[in-house]
Structure 1
């Protein structure tokens, strides 16, 4: 298929590699054009504006936050005005439920198609085409974009015909990730201060009671204090937990663990952790334990 991809951060770049490997004709746009150099060398076409990436069958957006997505969608040379007739805008970004609902409404008013397809997976997983992709939207456009989604993911998980449902699932999943990382951080700090081998503890837990990818992936980063380069940057973690809390407030669902994790992220950023992975919650737990 003829695919446009807007946003070449760590995740977007990996997704672009998977699309090229899947045989799709790819056009890419990024505000810093030099980030596309390696992809252009592999056969991608470089777009000068977001509009230039909207000429094909599908345009995928993978940008940092609500503001960035609003800019490329509604701004000058934006997606909504320039999306080809019959084409589908697929948002893979982690955005608010409210913005997903607005995008759905505005695309519908303009006679355009909008699908939400946020993803689970770190950058190396994206580059390997092994993401887990959540998808929600009207049946026909979802069916049309499935070959593209399947090129980027090991499995596509459907969540109905309301696009924002996929975004609420994504925020709920990220909230669980942060809670798990915080639990690891506190447990490892407790063991470290108690003089117990934290590596042996991690080996035990990740091969028995908590043999899950999140624990297996983040526990070694915390025990090794390996917080850079980030696969999931701490500022994005703060952004996502705030979005989860906003969704909870809107639906009148208390998320007390979410409030705790938000404050831990704020403490991390206050200590200069903007360039750290979310695993650096381990650093905060250790500091609060006096280590």
Structure 2
């Protein structure tokens, strides 16, 4: 049985690790907060998880990844592979590549598109980038976790750029759809009727799934917390700044999500930005 290390058993990481175990891998899993996980072998530390030779990290952000990185670098053998499946900043991803190379290790980026329910059903979309030989080795793992896997380049940070670009589109869609719901609603249109038009005309799982969440106001428990959405939009702004790329819409989204956190919505789903749009239209309360 092939061994895989897995670091991060949050709302996304736990179902992903379990799917690997169900596929026949021995998963050596570690989480900052001890968590019982049937089917997984709990590792005492990130270092022990990395000693498997291939280790996946699925953590909240740059800081959470950095908090375990030294142990991963120490535990991963020469020629071992670290697969970062979190949403990370582009400059930070570039630094990870250099730090692994200095130790004779391989680093890949394979961030995922999808919410926890998609992770449960193995319906994630994955953007993968890194050295060809390492990608070939972990490709079966990625196909176990995702419905579709896209190869987007031979430098890991390219996958994180793709992920941030995709999240920029999702955040922009959320803002536009929330505003559209409020606009048509204030003219007396039933939101369910409008949703059916959107669902038919914009045939996309993103519009369909998020449109339904907004319609049903499923803000808690969060599939993706608004505070994490703010983190991602900050990473998008960082990527734009380092590439000298103006993002006017990105700054609007940054202010919108920052306002949501300031108003106490940080632990609700990021679709709760609908509440902010409604409040500005006089529908609060």
TM-score between both structures, scaled by the size of structure 1: 0.95
List per-residue Cα deviations over 1:128-173 (Å, max 9, x = no partner). 1121111111111111111111111112100111100000000000
Partner of 1:179: 172
Q: Distance in 1 between matches of 2:46 and 2:32?
A: 9
Q: CA deviation at 1:244?
A: 0.6
Q: CA deviation at 1:28?
A: 0.5
Unpaired runs of 5+ residues, structure 1, are none
2:171 is equivalent to residue 170 of structure 1: no
Partner of 1:256: 248
Q: CA deviation at 1:85?
A: 3.0
Would you say the 8 A contact 1:225–1:283 is kept in 2?
A: no
2:9 is equivalent to residue 8 of structure 1: yes
List per-residue Cα deviations over 1:80-112 (Å, max 9, x = no partner). 111023220000010000111000001001111
List per-residue Cα deviations over 1:191-248 (Å, max 9, x = no partner). 222221111011111112x121111111122222221111111011000011011111
Partner of 2:235: 243
Q: Distance in 2 between matches of 1:154 and 1:206?
A: 21
| 1:49-198 correspondence to structure 2 within 5 Å | 49-74=45-70, 78-198=71-191
Q: Distance in 1 between matches of 2:211 and 2:86?
A: 26
Q: Distance in 2 between matches of 1:60 and 1:224?
A: 34
Q: Distance in 1 between matches of 2:75 and 2:275?
A: 46
TM-score between both structures, scaled by the size of structure 2: 0.97
Partner of 1:279: 271
Would you say the 8 A contact 1:231–1:277 is kept in 2?
A: yes
Unpaired runs of 5+ residues, structure 2, are none
Q: CA deviation at 1:57?
A: 3.1
Equivalent residues, number: 282
